[in-house]
Amino acid sequence: MKFDTPAGTNPIDQGKVVGRPTPRIDGKFKTTGTAPYAYERHDVAPNQAYGYILGASIAKGTITSIDTAEAEAANGVIGIVSTLDHKPVPLGPMNTANLFGGGEVQHYHQAIAMVVAESFEQARAAAHLIRVDYARGEGSFDLKRAAPSAEPVEDSEKRQGDFEAAFGNAPVTLDATYTTPDESHAMMEPFATIAAWEGDKLTVWTSNQMIQWNKRDLAKALDMPIEKVRVDSPYIGGGFGAKLFLRADAVVAALGAKQVGRPVKLSMQRPLTFNNSTHRAATIQRIRFGAGEDGKLTAIAHESTSGNLPGGGPESAINQTELLYAGENRLTAMRLAILNLPEGNAMRAPGEASGLMALEIAMDEMAEKLGMDPVAFRKANDTQVDPMNPERPFSKRKMIECLDRGAREFGWERRNPQPGRNREGRWLVGHGMAVGFRNNLLMKSGARVRLSGDGIVTVETDMTDIGTGTYTILAQTAAEMMGLPIERIRVELGDSDYPISAGSGGQWGANNSTSGVYAACVKLREQVAQSLGFNSDEVEFADGQVRAGERSFPLGHAAAENDLTAEDSIEYGNLDKQFQQSTFAGHFVELAVDAYTGEAHLRRMLAVCEAGRILNPISARSQVIGAMTMGAGAALMEHLVVDKRFGFFVNHDLAGYEVPVHADIPHQEVIFLEETDPVSSPMKAKGVGELGLCGVSAAIANALYNATGARVRDYPITLDKYLDRLPAVA
């Protein structure tokens, strides 16, 4: 189905199922421990052996030898896979790091061997008996030190007007530098795979967000036809972008299974989740503003430097600055430093999450220079068109509505604008806000729907559910389209034998995958009408019945003799070129700082979001509060500490890498504006999964400044960075 004109009225607009708060249909499996995650698929292949990965103990250099003799003689060992026995395969463009093969070491904990044994414990013990000799190379591990020699990223510099002249002539200016650290996904389920061969065909039961990307890259890594690879991933215990890409667990499990002639299962040990996987790369961001006395920005510049492995890309922290605020003279640019740390790549809201951490502090600093309220300053610089292309309007842009609603619900008018002046006993209380922004991305997505004689509709697509509620929103879509209660819909996900979907990531999954189901259901409705002798233009699907005029039949009657099956994909024209499609939020935070110890405590958080039609308010709210929690971690505690001598992340486990817990965030509220965007898709929806993260860290930073008067521009904002600047205790 081609979607190239703004959507008119369609069956989704009925709102009988879509848009209603609906408990997750997979919730009972997750809460009872019966959801089949990758490592727990004991029934899919008999006689499974266990694998254990050995990671490199240097960050850069070459392997001169691997001695496996002692490990091979250990109890229970079936075989050992060595990187020296395989050629490296450059996957690109999604994967920068070499996952396995060859003697070059690109980063610490790179997979260099895997032991296959009868038990996990035997495999682990034997892995530590492998002797590896290296020729260590000179590495670069410090972004600050490497930044002066960082190279401009090709085509990243964008200009409009004359920034330098406008900045030089502006009566009020800001020139500030902000830093964000390396961060890790730290999802609950580690990377895990079971691999089994049947002749020359490989099946992997794995944990991956993008089934077709995984299938394509696994076939390439193993130098085999793509049609001989099957990937199955029905449940994923968190991904946050790390599981967008093929990782070493799938590659070495497949190689090990082929070598020993048995299915092999393995789970990456937690340190490898940090050092072997991708991460959000650190940034150094310089922001310059020029404004008139009226508060209107006349000059905007945002330049960001980040690091990655050779061949990798930057953390695109300037994305939002190209679109978020008006200003006729603009400059954005990125630079990339070559570092020998693990691969920097997509992590929830790549680009905007880091960029807004800096931009929205800078907006607060500029508002203070102008003597303006932070909300009013942002509203004064709203735009309804792409600032870099004024002929291109936003499809929907209700940033001001988000801010007004948020300010009203939060009680912003009671905020004391004087930093460090609001006390409650020993507590310094602050209030902060920021704008959230994330683009809406359109991707082709397909599905197959099948109607059986009992009136059950089955949805099949390789779409994944990473804890976001995909099973439920796809069931809601099919139920709305076919006039059924959600209990009459079955959803099967994550199998590469099913039609290719958009996959989960970038907050593009919900809108595109439901649109693919919509397209398939349109075809199925046509088949049902034809089977029952109806004119498809006059048919109504409701309450399990198909009606036209005076005639009515149960839906299953159309498939009484044979199942009816329809398959289609949603494809988009150039609407995203004609209109800028984005999502917006207003984030508001109250935070208290102990005047004696400097400890910061979040008291309440509010997000008001505009993201088109909200398909399921329950799961959408969960996505946003989860993202807000993640933003709190980024603001106050999350930081991959780099050993700058040897090039690895020191705090590479869940004991050392701190993330927020329930006690850290006592109250969160989410409000969705009642809104649809007819340009986005037939569903008129957009994404929310990353919007809830974008901007919230800066809102926390701004609240801490309001509480203490100490402005911190380097994340995470730990108390050592402001303790000596707290107001004196009376």
CATH number at residue 216: 3.30.365.10
Position 651 in a domain? yes
Burial per residue of 121-158, b for 16 or more beta-carbon CB atoms within 10 angstroms, e otherwise: ebbbbbbebbebebeeeebbbbbeebeeebeebeebee
Position 596 in a domain? yes
Q: Which residue matches tokens 């408990």? A: 23
Answer yes or no: are the C-beta atoms of 311 and 92 closer than 8 Å. yes
Q: Specify the 3-state DSSP secondary structure of 401.
A: helix
Distance of CA 470 to the CA centre of its chain: 15
The DSSP output letter for 384 is S
Position 293 in a domain? no
Same-domain status, 517 and 635 = no
573, 604, 631 - which closes a domain: 573
Sheet holding 264-267, edge to edge: 77-82, 111-117, 49-55, 264-267, 192-198, 201-206, 229-232
User: C-alpha angle 281/282/283, rounded to 5°?
Assistant: 120
Same-domain status, 191 and 249 = yes
Position 319 in a domain? no
Distance of CA 671 to the CA centre of its chain: 21
What is the structure's pLDDT at 536?
76
Same-domain status, 58 and 44 = yes
Same-domain status, 616 and 639 = yes
Answer yes or no: are the C-beta atoms of 555 and 451 closer than 8 Å. yes
Those residues with Cβ within 8 angstroms of residue 663's Cβ, 6 or more apart along the chain or in another chain: none
Number of domains in the chain: 3
Same-domain status, 608 and 527 = no
Catalytic: 690? Answer: yes
Element (H, E) at 617: helix 617-636
Same-domain status, 430 and 453 = no
Distance of CA 64 to the CA centre of its chain: 38
Q: Which residue matches tokens 């259901």? A: 521
Position 235 in a domain? yes
Helix, strand, coil distribution of the chain in percent, nearest 5: 30, 30, 40
What is the C-alpha separation between 709 and 593, in angstroms, rounded?
A: 11
573, 600, 616 - which closes a domain: 573
What is the structure's pLDDT at 7?
87
Give the active site residue among 315, 360, 610, 690: 690
Same-domain status, 230 and 84 = yes
Position 498 in a domain? yes
Same-domain status, 713 and 600 = yes
What is the C-alpha separation between 687 and 354, in angstroms, rounded?
A: 19
Nearest to 512 by CA among 583, 436, 396, 615: 615
Element (H, E) at 591: strand 582-594
| Cα distances (Å, whole numbers) of residue 676 to 3, 155, 521, 612 | 16, 34, 21, 4
Position 429 in a domain? yes
Nearest to 280 by CA among 728, 594, 540, 638: 638
For the chain, the first-to-last Cα distance in angstroms comes to 69
Report the 10 Å Cβ neighbour count for 89: 18
Position 65 in a domain? yes
542, 573, 604 - which closes a domain: 573
Same-domain status, 470 and 567 = yes
Q: Which two tokens stand for residue 538?
A: 């006059």
Q: Which residue matches tokens 């920005």? A: 297
E-only strand ranges, 595-694: 600-610, 642-643, 648-649, 668-672
Answer yes or no: are the C-beta atoms of 197 and 482 closer than 8 Å. no
Same-domain status, 474 and 546 = yes
Same-domain status, 22 and 42 = no
Domain that holds residue 715: 385-439+581-725
What is the structure's pLDDT at 730?
67
Residues of the chain with pLDDT under 70: 730
What is the C-alpha separation between 293 and 170, in angstroms, rounded?
A: 9
Same-domain status, 403 and 493 = no
